[in-house]
Every structure is written in C-alpha cells, then in structure tokens.
Amino acid sequence: MPKLDTVFFDMDGLMFDTESLYFKSNQITLEKMGYDYTINHYQEVIGKSGDDFIEKMLEVVQTKEAYDYFIKTADAYFLKYIKENPVEAKKGLYDLIKYLDRIGAKKSIVSSSNSNVIDVLLEKANLSNGFDYVISADMVTHTKPHPEPYLKALDLGETDSSVVWVLEDSLSGLKSADAAGLRKILIPDLLVVDEESRKIADYIMDDLHEVKEFFKQ
C-alpha cells in the first residue's frame, strides 16, 4: 500500500449515522409544508450542498421563499435532535482513529456540514480534540463536489497529496477528492454504488473496520 501519512474523513454518513437523521428532518418539515418527500428524493441530494442542493430542493418546493423556510426549519429540527439524543458512530470509527493515533498519522475532517453541527457531533462523540483540522461548509466558498474543501485541507496541513487517503460515502465527495488529486476509499451509506462512483473510487469497502485492516497492510 502507498505511504499513509494523513487521512481526510468526510463526516455525515461516514463517521456518524446522520444521513438518516437528515432525511427524517427533511421529511417531517416538508410533509408539514404539504410536500411528499421520499428516500429517493433524499438520495439525490446526499453529499450535495450549495447550488447543487438548492437546485434539487427547488424541484420539490418550487419557490425560493418555500426553500428558505424549509432550510431554516429542517436545520433547526436536526440540530435540536442531535443535541438531545445519542448519535450512533459508524462501525469501526473508534478503532480506526485509535490505530491512526498509534501510528502517528494525521487526521482531518472535510465536511459539507456547517461548523455548529460538526462541533455538536464531535463533542457528543468525545472527539472534539481528535482531529488536526476541521474543514466545514462555512469555511469555503465552494462546497463538494468542488475540490476547494480538500484543497483547503491540504493547504492547512501543509500536506502533500501523495500521502493522503480520503474516506467518503457519496459521489459528490468522491468527485471533490478526485478533483483535488487525492486517493479515495468509498464506504457507502444510504446510496447504492453506481458506475460513476466505481470509476472514481480507488477502493470500495464495507465499513471502517475494513479500512483499518487495509491501512495495516
């Protein structure tokens, strides 16, 4: 295996089982607004943010006013939920982090979530001081699938791309990492792995336990 120096973690659906919670927040909000919203709708926006997310959601709610209300309400519901309830860590997360710490590898989070959400989740998971850098959506101009989030992580860590592995669960994240010239492992969550994801990912693995065993080789 090529040299392992740094690992960039996506967060939602990769570190924590939050994609299902985002779906629930969206569904409850939209149904109260009178719109049908299914898991198929949600799968179309997983990993998307910024203009890509807005475009997809406007197909559901039609108007900018309705979209603004939806975002404000769904985000408030989600944030309240994660503050008041346990959030499940994905299988193998803590073992992988312990292994990376043991070998002295650097770790950063590169997420499409805003910093207020990331801070809550890391605190609940006792990982507030567990990462060298955290790149959130509110730190960049362009979010995934644009390469800016991963390029910013490389810049902050003064890291050469050749020693980095990226862990992602979505096509949007894979595209972002690929455009930044990084090696990518896909660990699917709610999405079915399509042909495009298979072409972009360097490896596809079932969970973070498998990632740890791969890194140990």
Domain spans in the chain, listed from the N-terminal domain onward: 6-17+88-215, 19-84
Round to whole Å and give the CA distance between 146 and 142: 6
- The amino acid present at 189, given as its one-letter code, is D
Round to whole Å and give the CA distance between 155 and 151: 6
Mean pLDDT of the chain: 93
Residues 6+ apart with CB under 8 A from 51: none
Tokens of 150: 């991963």
Band (pLDDT 50/70/90 cuts) for residue 53 is confident
Sheet containing strand 183-186, edge to edge, reads 133-135, 106-110, 6-9, 164-168, 183-186, 203-204
CB 216 within 8 A of CB 100: no
Q: Could you tell me the CATH superfamily of domain 6-17+88-215?
A: HAD superfamily/HAD-like (3.40.50.1000)
Instruction: Give the residues across from 172 on adjacent strands.
Output: none
Round to whole Å and give the CA distance between 69 and 14: 28
Band (pLDDT 50/70/90 cuts) for residue 45 is confident
Q: What is the pLDDT of residues 54-101, one digit of tens each?
A: 888 999 999 999 999 999 999 999 999 999 999 999 999 999 999 999
pLDDT exceeding 90 applies to what percent of the chain? 83
Half-sphere exposure of 216 (CA within 13 A, CB side): 12
Between 33-47, 73-87, 104-118, 202-216, the lowest mean confidence (pLDDT) is in 33-47
Residue ranges of alpha helices (H) inside the chain are 19-32, 39-43, 50-61, 64-84, 93-103, 115-124, 148-157, 171-179, 195-200, 208-215
Round to whole Å and give the CA distance between 113 and 143: 10
Q: Does pTM surpass 0.75?
A: yes
Round to whole Å and give the CA distance between 66 and 172: 25
